[in-house]
Structure formats: C-alpha cells, structure tokens
C-alpha cells in the first residue's frame, strides 16, 4: 500500500514538473512573438492591424513610418541563378504560369519581373544613316 502511494506521489510530481516546464516554454514563445512585433524598417513597436493578405496572414502597419508588412514572412528572395533560368525560359516561349511552376516563384512575382524587364527594354532601335547594303531587322517577342 505504501509503495503504491509513493509511486502515485512520484508520478504526480513528474506530471506537475512536466506541466510547469511546458507552461514556461509557452510563455517564452509568447514573449518571443511579442518581441518580434516591431517594424522591419524603423523598429517601432507602434503597430496596428491592417487586414490580411489574400493568403489569410494578418497584415500590420507601422504607425511611425506607415510601412505595411506581414510578421514572420515565409516569402523568400529569388536567387540570381533562378532569375537567370527564368531569363532563359522566357526566350523559349514558355507560358508565364509554366515558368512560375517550374521555378517555384509566385505568378504575381514573375509578372512583375517581366513587366520590369519590359520597362527597361529600349523602345527605339538606332540605325546608322550611312549604312550600305541590305537592311534586315529581326524582332522577337519577349
Ligand atoms: Zn516603421
């Protein structure tokens, strides 16, 4: 009888200590979440909720500088290698959605990337006046 009581008591102590450890962990997590809630531009803590993204993540707005952002973003920066691959794929006349799927970039990012490329492309072709011979102009789609 005594051993059963000792066993029950020790298992209760174990359970309580485990619970205490988990509550400390969860409060640490809450503290970390609160610490991370600063503006990525100016570091201000004066933030307000500002709706949500189309993926359902809450958006915040800094009251000091006005920047809008998502806390703990999952977005990654597209590497130079991926951009070079996209440039090559664009010349192969593959659809933007196909390129987005293959390179795993978002379709909206790719659309913006292509628009920026188009904006940087010169609109006029310079042809020298003292050109002799037959003039051949080749144009290709972006
Ligand atoms: Zn700010």
Q: What pLDDT does 65 receive? A: 94
Q: What pLDDT does 119 receive? A: 92
**Phi and psi at residue 25, in whole multiples of 5°?**
-60, -45
Q: For residues 98 and 27, what is the distance between their CA atoms, to the nearest angstrom? A: 45
pLDDT score of 117 more than 60: yes
Range 102-137 burial, b when 16+ CB lie within 10 A, else e: ebebeeeebeebeeeeeeeeeeeeeeeeeeeeeeee
Q: What pLDDT does 31 receive? A: 46
Extents of the domains making up the chain? 30-73, 80-120
CA 71 / ligand 1 centre spacing (Å):
13
Asked if 87 and 78 touch (Cβ cutoff 8 Å), the reply is no
Q: For residues 83 and 71, what is the distance between their CA atoms, to the nearest angstrom? A: 26
Element (H, E) at 51: strand 47-52
Per-residue pLDDT reduced to its tens digit, 1-11? 666 656 655 66
CA 130 / ligand 1 centre spacing (Å):
57
CA 32 / ligand 1 centre spacing (Å):
19
Domain 30-73: which CATH class? mainly beta
Asked if 52 and 69 touch (Cβ cutoff 8 Å), the reply is no
89 or 125, higher pLDDT:
89
**Phi and psi at residue 46, in whole multiples of 5°?**
-85, 90
Per-residue pLDDT reduced to its tens digit, 65-88? 999 988 877 767 889 999 999 999
Per-residue pLDDT reduced to its tens digit, 25-64? 555 555 445 456 888 889 999 999 999 988 888 999 999 9
CA 44 / ligand 1 centre spacing (Å):
5
């Amino acid at each position: 009888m005594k051993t059963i009581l000792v066993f029950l008591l020790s298992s209760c102590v174990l359970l309580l200590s485990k619970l205490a450890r988990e509550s400390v962990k969860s409060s640490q997590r809450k503290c970390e979440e609160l610490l991370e809630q600063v503006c990525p531009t100016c570091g201000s803590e004066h933030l307000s909720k500002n709706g949500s993204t189309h993926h359902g993540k809450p958006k915040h707005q800094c009251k000091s500088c006005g920047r809008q952002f998502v806390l703990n973003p999952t977005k990654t920066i597209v590497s130079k290698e991926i951009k070079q691959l996209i440039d090559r794929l664009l010349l192969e006349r593959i659809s933007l959605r196909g390129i987005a799927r293959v390179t795993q970039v978002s379709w909206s990012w790719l659309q913006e990337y292509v628009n920026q490329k188009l904006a940087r492309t010169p609109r006029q072709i310079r042809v020298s006046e003292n050109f002799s011979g037959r003039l051949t102009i080749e144009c290709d789609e972006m």
